Amino acid sequence: MSADVRADGPAREAAGVATRASAANGGPLLDVRDLCVEFQTRKGVARVLEGVSFALGPGETLGLVGESGCGKSMTALAIMRLIPDPPGRITSGEVVFDGQDLLKLDDATMRDVRGNRVSMIFQEPMTSLNPVFTVGEQIAEAVRLHQRLERRAAHERAVEMLEAVGIPAARRRVDEYPHQFSGGMRQRVMIAMALACNPGVLIADEPTTALDVTVQAQIFDLISDLRDRTGASVVLITHDMGAVAEMTDRVAVMYAGRIVEEGSVEEVLEEPLHPYTQGLIACAPGRRTAARGEPLEEIPGTVPSLLERRGGCAFADRCKHVQPRCRELQPAELRIAGGRRRVVCWLFADGGAR
């Protein structure tokens, strides 16, 4: 691949300087603090996110894992401020990106952040491209939303980006329509659009869920590769524990709108603390279970409805180690290893011993 993804206009350089300045302070690039999101439904208020906090350093990759419906995508949408309002609403919290609280920005400034400094790719590549425009027009449009670029220059940039995401014969295919691309190719185009302005953070919301298994690894490789070349931080939302192990530096495990465990990828995968994390890892088809021909483990039950939440730990009904107090009180957060590792479970609240 020959295209230089870094090659860019002056607007981008200014942003790059700002990003580096914040990184030099040693602070995180993206700092989500105590984010709460509510949805107004006919049956009442659903508290979709409850006090979600995590930090993402420059160039770091955070894996956000958990079952469907536990708030992973909501976290991503809340960071981008794309939660449909009404019925959804961010009730409290901060999303500090590069020293700015995104939740306090006015709409015009926020639009300039989206796609330019924080980008997102969605799970459905088949329907995420506008069918009436060529992929080149759409990538060029993504660039021209944020940079003053001639039509021709934007088109060149589109070709460059298509080459960067590994689409063969990019110069010809840039003028083709989305329906002429396969699912994996379309996801590559989506990645090209998301990275066209060299954002500081890329949020990938289950980027491979809708794709063929053989293509999934390619897309993960592509994201890692582009991350390494552009220095972007990545929030990877996924079910794929293999991808988490391979791609991420840190992992946050979500359950019912909360982060129940967070730590470095080695810590969390090697020595999961929260019973839910243990269950998730046991569910993943690993080499050992497959060799023995045993059925995969499962976590009994399903994620509880967010509407009928009682006090106590949301995982209590499905937990092997449930204690009486689990059902009464929300467990406190235990921070270990200088706060870089944390777990929310009564098992560890009394000093970390199991």
| Interacting residues toward other proteins by CB under 8 A | 1-2, 80, 82, 86, 107-108, 111-116, 119-120, 122, 124, 127-134, 141-142, 145-146, 163, 166, 168-172, 175-177, 180, 190, 193-194
User: Hey, what are 112's tokens?
Assistant: 């300039």
3-state secondary structure of 141: helix
Shorter beta-carbon distance to other proteins: residue 112 or 249 = 112
Question: CA-CA distance, 159 to 86, in Å (whole number)?
Answer: 39
State the nearest-atom distance from the C-beta of 129 to other proteins, in Å.
Answer: 6
State the nearest-atom distance from the C-beta of 312 to other proteins, in Å.
Answer: 35
Which DSSP letter does residue 273 get? Answer: -
Shorter beta-carbon distance to other proteins: residue 173 or 227 = 173
Exposure string for 320-329, b = 16+ CB within 10 A, e = fewer: eebeeebeee
Shorter beta-carbon distance to other proteins: residue 130 or 302 = 130
Shorter beta-carbon distance to other proteins: residue 163 or 333 = 163
Shorter beta-carbon distance to other proteins: residue 130 or 305 = 130
Report CA-CA distances (Å) from 225 to 159, 194, 229: 18, 15, 6
State the nearest-atom distance from the C-beta of 235 to other proteins, in Å.
Answer: 13
Cα dihedral 101, 102, 106, 112, rounded to 10, equals 130
State the nearest-atom distance from the C-beta of 180 to other proteins, in Å.
Answer: 6
Which DSSP letter does residue 327 get? Answer: G
State the nearest-atom distance from the C-beta of 209 to other proteins, in Å.
Answer: 13
State the nearest-atom distance from the C-beta of 171 to other proteins, in Å.
Answer: 5
The total number of residues shown for the chain amounts to 354
Per DSSP bridges, beta strands 250-255 and 258-264 are antiparallel
Phi/psi of residue 54, nearest 5 degrees: -165, 160
Neighbours of 276 (CB within 10 A): 27
Question: CA-CA distance, 163 to 177, in Å (whole number)?
Answer: 17
H/E stretch holding 201 reads strand 201-205
Shorter beta-carbon distance to other proteins: residue 107 or 308 = 107
Question: Which of 118, 112, 111, 107 lies closest to 32, judged by CA?
Answer: 118
Contact predicate 244/259, CB 8 Å: no
State the nearest-atom distance from the C-beta of 76 to other proteins, in Å.
Answer: 9
State the nearest-atom distance from the C-beta of 315 to other proteins, in Å.
Answer: 31
H/E stretch holding 202 reads strand 201-205
Shorter beta-carbon distance to other proteins: residue 171 or 340 = 171
Shorter beta-carbon distance to other proteins: residue 113 or 254 = 113
